């Protein structure tokens, strides 16, 4: 591996920096919770020491990133279908919001339709029966057979 020096657009360096910030947070939380003493360790004892270990490890990763050439942040998503991944993540996030308010069936059927059509489009003749059929079947199994209650939403459907 080539030595590249300090390059800001280095995904590994950013990774190390984020982990370092997380480890400082853990360390501080451990300190706040109370370290106690060695013969009576407090709630924050292990967390505090883990924070220190994590900080050391993340610094190690950052140093390696500076010493050796790592991929740029952009390179991680080059030649990938990241837009499709983003669509799934956003759809799933919206689904999380709709799940309680619309209920299981009214939120899951559109979710399935989006997933079946927006990523690698499945023919409508398959997508529609599947988008309706799978959630209804799952609902029936859970509600009727296993008696697991699913949210019915404001329209009380399901």
Residues that bind another protein (CB under 8 A): 11-12, 15, 19, 22, 26, 29, 33, 37-41, 43-47, 50, 53-54, 57-58, 60-61, 64, 76, 80-82, 84-85, 88-89, 92-93, 95-96, 99-100, 108, 111-112, 115-116, 119-122, 126, 130, 134-135, 138, 142, 146, 148-151
User: Toward another protein, which CB reaches closer, 66 or 111?
Assistant: 111
| 68-78: burial string, b at 16+ Cβ within 10 Å, e else | eebebeeeeee
Q: Find, among 90, 85, 76, the residue nearest to 120 by Cα.
A: 85
Q: Find the shortest distance in angstroms from Cβ 124 to another protein.
A: 13
Q: Find the shortest distance in angstroms from Cβ 89 to another protein.
A: 7
Q: What is the enclosing helix (H) or strand (E) of 150?
A: none
Query: Which bin fits 37, alpha (ψ -120 to 50), beta or left (φ > 0)?
Result: beta
User: Toward another protein, which CB reaches closer, 63 or 155?
Assistant: 63
Q: Find the shortest distance in angstroms from Cβ 115 to another protein.
A: 4
Q: Find the shortest distance in angstroms from Cβ 19 to another protein.
A: 6
User: Toward another protein, which CB reaches closer, 12 or 66?
Assistant: 12
Q: What angle do CA 14, 17, 20 make, to 5 degrees?
A: 150
Cβ atoms < 10 Å from Cβ of 154: 11
User: Toward another protein, which CB reaches closer, 57 or 152?
Assistant: 57
Q: Find the shortest distance in angstroms from Cβ 146 to another protein.
A: 6
Residue 40: which residues within 8 A CB-CB, separation 6 or more?
none
Cβ atoms < 10 Å from Cβ of 106: 19
């Amino acid at each position: 591996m080539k030595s590249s020096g300090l390059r800001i657009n280095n995904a590994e360096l950013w990774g190390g920096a984020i982990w370092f910030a997380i480890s400082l947070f853990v360390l501080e939380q451990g300190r706040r919770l109370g370290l106690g003493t060695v013969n009576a360790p407090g709630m924050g004892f292990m967390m505090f020491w883990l924070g220190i270990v994590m900080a050391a490890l993340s610094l190690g990763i950052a140093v390696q990133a500076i010493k050796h050439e790592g991929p740029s942040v952009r390179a991680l998503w080059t030649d990938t279908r990241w837009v499709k991944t983003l669509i799934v993540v956003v759809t799933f996030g919206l689904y999380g919001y709709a799940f309680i308010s619309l209920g299981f069936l009214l939120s899951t059927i559109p979710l399935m339709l989006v997933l079946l059509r927006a990523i690698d489009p499945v023919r409508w003749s398959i997508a529609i029966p599947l988008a309706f059929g799978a959630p209804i079947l799952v609902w029936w199994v859970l509600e009727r057979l296993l008696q697991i209650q699913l949210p019915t939403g404001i329209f009380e459907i399901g």
